[in-house]
Amino acid sequence: MSEYNFQVNLKGMIDLLSNHLYSNPGVFIRELLQNGADAVTARKRLGHNLSGKITVELFPSSHTLAVQDNGIGLTEREIIQFLAQIGHTSKREDPDSADEYIGQFGVGLLACFVVSEEIVLITRSAMEGDSIEWRGRPDGTYTIRKLDREVSIGTTVYLTLKQDYEEYGEWYRVYELLEHYGAYLPAAIWLVEDGYECKVNHDKAPWSMTREEALAYAKDELNLDCLDVIELRSTVGEVEGVAYILPYPVSLQAERRHKMYVKQMLLSDKMDSILPSWAFFATSVINANGLRPTASREAFYENDIYYAVQNEMGEVIKQHFRQLAEQNPELLRRIIRIHYSSLKTLAEEDEDSYELFIPYLAFETSEGTLEAEELAVKTKHILLTSTLDEFRQISRVAKAQDLLVVNGGYVHDYQLIRRLPDVYPELEVTIVDPLEFFQRFQELDREDTEQMSPVLEMADALLLPYQCKSAVRWFEPADIAVLYTTSEDVGFLRMAESGRDELNELFDEAASIITNEMHELPFARLCFNYNNPIVRKMAECKDLQIQDLTIKSLYTQSLLLGSYPMQSGELQMMNESFMTLLNLGLANTGGGVS
Ligand SMILES: Nc1ncnc2c1ncn2[C@@H]1O[C@H](COP(=O)(O)OP(=O)(O)OP(=O)(O)O)[C@@H](O)[C@H]1O
């Protein structure tokens, strides 16, 4: 068995790392800033007392830019060891200090080959005296020479921009990139051209600002007039930052964009998952020193620490809401009103959030829109419908009986209301069965029952083909003559019946199979209200034709009012009864068509 070593195609490797690792050419600025900042950190670790400075000088006539730092510099030996060996980094040499550096992979400098055919680096180490020039090329060759002149301690990288990349030598573009990546770096960043110089760093990072400053930052930098700002801190991952509550509703599916810094250098402004997925109502600016960026430096490794940070951020946000509930419930209410549907999702999924938000979440009820807290004050007994249709059917009648009905037909509402007794133990929640709802009303005495009995018999016979049975009760309000209640199962059976009308064989067959499986067929209810004068008159009149017409009219009218789809037989019933009643009415005045 022979053993071989892998061969490395150096040119291909450099091409891969420089041209394909990063998502845009501008990252070379970030890599140079980061090297300068790390070099300053390393020099400070030697005990040198200095204020770190990175100067970027532009030479537009030759499309050249120079990035100079007053950091630790490099000796010739270090150049050969770290610069000339791809993947070798000085920043992991000492495990005690590795955490202080931003760089860690030993490939960042290669990003310069995206914009330049050559990297020229002039350096003098803080450890020994020689000034050295290193020239590296993307074919993997390099030269080193000692300079006759002495340069100051630190490093300068010169890049002459390739054709099509000249924009990276223009003042506004470079300024924009320096500010984008380095606005909060501790080392001062200066941009210089033709004797004019300008400091790029901002005075304070958002995570070190007071609440008022952080709000002003959101307005000026993020164009955000946010509802509230939350201070984020976590020892896990050494995280500090601010989360802004967005002033407009955000969908759960919306792209999340958090601005993420590592050791004060921008990692990404489109980070999507540093806050828990439920915190879609917030955008954040966060600096993390203890999370590991990937080699492209555009994302983090999603390891245990990352998830622990995400979790911790969630806890901090929840704690903030808890405090708001005590100290500024009006603001919490405003936030909930705007992020209403999203917070309902959160409350449904998360026990703590349920307790926190439920008092402020609003629901549609027979008494108008009410927050859960108001519901609990108003009543001890809630009737909950599972569909919007059911709510519509019974809410008006329920109101007149002093029953409080909540519409559970909207997403989340049903589950949220069902759990109310967990938070309000004195509250009882009953799920309404619309088909049995009429049984809550007052029964008639014997005499009135007998009076209505032939009417009910007639109604049952007329409505049997439409999957409906009749009943009678006495209830408020008196102006409602009948209450039609139905269920999804009845709706299905009626649909099956319409299918039969249209001779759709396949549908008919499917419907038969399903209906055979229902061991008791459900019926809709048409409950007459004996409190209504027309109903009483109909019962008293004994004229079978009038009774027949009245039943048909009341039935079809209740379908119309409830926006239920009518079968052809019902439409015909409505037309005929309407026309005949008109005719009878006109006949009484001497008109009428005989
Ligand atoms: N401005 C500088 N001053 C001193 N040393 C430098 C400078 N720039 C680069 N170096 C040396 O060159 C090495 C390689 O740099 P490079 O940018 O390729 O990788 P890195 O910063 O170590 O890691 P990463 O790939 O994560 O950026 C560094 O580890 C450092 O030793």
Which residue lies with its CA nearest to atom 21 of ligand 1?
103
Contacts of 4 by beta carbon, 8 Å cutoff, 6+ apart? none
Spell out the residues 6+ positions from residue 110 whose beta carbon is closer than 8 angstroms to its own: 14, 17, 18, 86
| Residue 167, φ and ψ in degrees, nearest 5 | -60, -25
Q: Range(s) for CATH 3.30.230.80 in the chain?
A: 206-327
Three-state DSSP class for 280? coil
Check if 366 has its Cβ closer than 6 Å to any atom of ligand 1: no
Q: Is the CB of 36 under 6 A from ligand 1?
A: yes
Q: Which helix (H) or strand (E) holds 341?
A: helix 340-349
In tens, the pLDDT along 358-415 reads: 999 999 999 999 999 999 999 999 999 998 888 988 888 888 888 999 999 988 999 9
Which parts of 442-484 fold into alpha helices (H)? 446-463
Joined tokens for residue 293: 């960026």
Backbone CA torsion sign across 437, 403, 397, 358: negative
Which ligand 1 atom sits nearest the alpha carbon of residue 103?
26
Q: In Å, how far are 232, 280, 402, 434 from 283, measured between CA atoms? A: 12, 8, 45, 44
Beta-bridge partner residues of 57: 66, 192
Would you call 468 helix, strand, or coil by DSSP?
strand
Report the residue among 38, 132, 297 best suited for mutation to probe ligand 1: largest number of ligand atoms under 8 A from its CB.
38
Containing 266, the helix (H) or strand (E) segment is: strand 265-271
List all residues 6 or more positions away from 574 whose beta carbon is below 8 Å from its beta carbon: 552, 553, 556, 557, 560, 566
Ligand 1 lined by 35 (C-beta under 6 Å): yes
Q: How far is the CA of 35 from the centre of ligand 1 (A)?
A: 5
Q: Which atom of ligand 1 is nearest to the CA of 67?
A: 1
User: ∠336-337-340 over CA atoms, to 5°?
Assistant: 70
| pLDDT by position in tens, the chain (length 594) | 778 877 767 777 777 777 778 878 999 999 999 999 999 999 999 999 999 999 999 999 999 999 999 999 999 999 999 887 877 888 777 777 778 888 888 788 989 999 999 999 999 999 988 999 999 998 889 999 999 999 999 999 999 999 999 999 999 999 999 999 999 999 999 999 999 999 999 989 999 999 999 999 999 999 999 999 999 999 999 999 999 999 998 876 777 789 999 999 999 888 888 998 888 899 999 999 999 888 887 888 889 999 999 999 999 999 999 999 999 999 999 999 999 887 888 899 888 889 989 999 999 999 999 999 999 999 999 999 998 888 988 888 888 888 999 999 988 999 999 999 999 999 999 999 888 888 989 999 999 999 999 999 999 999 999 999 999 999 999 999 999 998 878 777 777 766 665 556 666 666 666 666 656 778 999 999 999 999 999 999 989 999 999 999 999 999 998 888 899 999 999 999 999 988 888 887 765 554
CA of 16 to the centre of ligand 1 (A): 18
CATH of 438-588, one of 3.40.50.11540, 1.20.1530.20, 1.20.120.790, 3.40.50.150: 1.20.120.790
Is residue 155 a known part of a binding site? yes
Phi–psi pair at 470, nearest 5 degrees: -105, 165
Measured distance CA(165)–CA(185) in Å, rounded: 26
Q: pTM of the full predicted structure?
A: 0.77
C-alpha to C-alpha distance for 315 and 319, rounded to whole angstroms: 6
User: Do 509 and 460 form a contact (C-beta atoms < 8 A)?
Assistant: no
State how far the Cα of 124 lies from the Cα of 98, in Å rounded to an integer: 22
CATH code at 206-327: 3.30.230.80
Q: pLDDT per residue over 489-543, tens digit each?
A: 877 777 776 666 555 666 666 666 666 665 677 899 999 999 999 999 999 998 9
Its CATH architecture, for the domain 333-434, is 3-Layer(aba) Sandwich (3.40)
Q: What is the pLDDT of residue 591?
A: 57
What number of other Cβ atoms are within 10 A of residue 506's Cβ? Answer: 8
CA atoms within 13 A on the CB side of 548: 9
Query: Does the annotation place 31 within a ligand binding site?
Result: yes
By the 10 Å C-beta count (0-12 exposed, 13-18 middle, 19+ buried), 520 is classed as exposed
402: Cβ contacts below 8 Å, ≥ 6 apart? none
H or E element at residue 131 = strand 131-136
Cβ neighbors of 398 (< 8 A, separation 6 or more) are 366, 383, 404, 405
Torsion over CA of 247, 252, 255 and 260, rounded to 10 degrees? 70
- Beta-bridged to residue 232, according to DSSP, are 241
Q: Is 70 in the pocket of ligand 1 (CB under 6 A)?
A: no
Helix (H) or strand (E) holding 282: strand 282-288
155 in ligand 1 pocket by Cβ < 6 Å? yes
CA of 157 to the centre of ligand 1 (A): 12
Enumerate the β-bridge partners of residue 317.
none
* Binding site membership of 90 for ligand 1 (Cβ less than 6 Å): yes
d(CA 403, CA 380): 10
Rounded distance from Cα 111 to ligand 1 centre (Å): 11
Atom of ligand 1 nearest to the CA of 89: 29
**ipTM > 0.90 (yes/no):** yes
Atom index in ligand 1 nearest the CA of residue 154 equals 3
| C-alpha closest to that of 459 among 450, 468, 448, 451 | 468
Q: Where are the beta strands (DSSP E) in 324-459?
A: 362-365, 368-371, 381-385, 404-407, 428-431
Report how far ligand 1's centroid is from the alpha carbon of 109 (Å). 7
CATH 3.30.565.10 fits 10-199, yes or no: yes
Which helix (H) or strand (E) segment holds residue 226: the answer is none
Contact 202, 184 (CB under 8 A): yes
Place of tokens 């070190």: 208
